[in-house]
Chains A and B, each alone.
Chain A
Amino acid sequence: MDDLALFSIGSDRNRWLATRSAALADNIANADTPGFKARDVPTFEAALSSANVAMLRTNGNHLAPTQFGARTFDLVNRPGEVPKHSGNTVSLETELANLGETRSQHSLVSGILGAFHRMLLSSSKG
């Protein structure tokens, strides 16, 4: 199959969005923890260019490498946040805004992948 381009980048984007969700969840859970610094993923472009690709492995059977490398994205401190008196840098407004954006981007990518997947399935029927 030569359809690596869209499925591969779609997969990366959704993994990035999932990692971002975990970072946002951590920030929101620790919104009142003294000294806690809000973190986020780097931008998607920056994340793609770094070489964090771990091949998926299952215990026991060795899977051949697929086009869906399980990328990991390291978190960075959210820049420019003014710490509260407690040293905490979480702003719920920022986190919730990012959360909404993450949700709709994830929905879009899933929708795109679904549409092309269905087209592939139709074209190889009968």
Chain B
Amino acid sequence: MIDSISGVGGRALPAGSVDGMAPSSSVAAPKMTPTVSGAASIAQPDHDFATLLGNAISEFGQKMRNAEAVSIGGVKGTAALQDVVEHVMSAEQSLQAVIAVRDKVISAYQEISRMAI
């Protein structure tokens, strides 16, 4: 469950459109090297999309694992309902964040690739 949903970040970006991008099946942040020369100096390491997406994915992965564990407890009747609801909602919110960042990254790269060289 975790891997198939966490892979949303790695699968989303089209392979081959950006150098050094490897399809990722887990929470590791993909390395992004822009093909436009000179653009590499634009991105600041602490605030670049790679970090943002990587953090969102890794936070989501953790929340998803917790949500699944608590939900299994909910199914068995060992976890409190409040706990199940909180963990699942938190995972859903986190997934939304990953999807939002991923979509922003995709549109940013589409813009970059449209720039006249």
A13 touches B4 (CB 8 A): no
Which residues of A are found within 8 Å of B86, using beta-carbon distances?
none
Q: CB distance A109 to B1 under 8 Å? A: no
Is the beta-carbon distance between B99 and A122 smaller than 8 angstroms?
yes
Q: Which of A45, A109, A116, A124 has the most CB of B within 10 A?
A: A116
Q: Which A residues touch B81, using CB under 8 A?
A: 108
Q: How far is the CB of A118 from chain B (nearest CB, A)?
A: 8
Interface members, chain B 5-62 (any A CB < 8 Å):
5, 7-8, 12
Q: Is the interface of A mostly helix, strand, loop or mixed?
A: helix
Contact of B8 among A13, A109, A118, A124 (CB under 8 A): A124
B44 to chain A, nearest CB (A): 28
Residues of the A chain whose Cβ atoms lie less than 8 Å from the Cβ of B7? 123
Contact at B84–A123, with CB atoms within 8 Å? no
Residues of B in contact, count (CB < 8 Å): 26
A119 to B8, CA, bound (A): 11
CA distance A118 to B46 in the complex (A): 32
Chain B residues whose C-beta falls within 8 Å of the C-beta of A123 in the assembled complex: 4-5, 7-8, 95, 99
- Given A108-B84, A122-B99, A124-B8, answer yes or no on A115-B92 (Cβ-Cβ < 8 Å): yes
* B residues less than 8 Å from A122 (CB atoms): 95-96, 99
B71 engages A116 (CB within 8 Å): yes
> A1-30: which have CB < 8 Å to B?
1-3, 5-6, 9-10, 13
* Chain A positions within 8 Å of B91 at CB level: 119
B51 to chain A, nearest CB (A): 21
Please report the C-alpha to C-alpha distance between residue A116 and residue B1 in the assembled complex, in whole angstroms: 9
Q: Is B108 part of the contact surface with A, judged by Cβ < 8 Å?
A: no
A-B contact list, 5 entries, CB within 8 Å: A6-B72, A6-B75, A108-B75, A112-B74, A119-B95
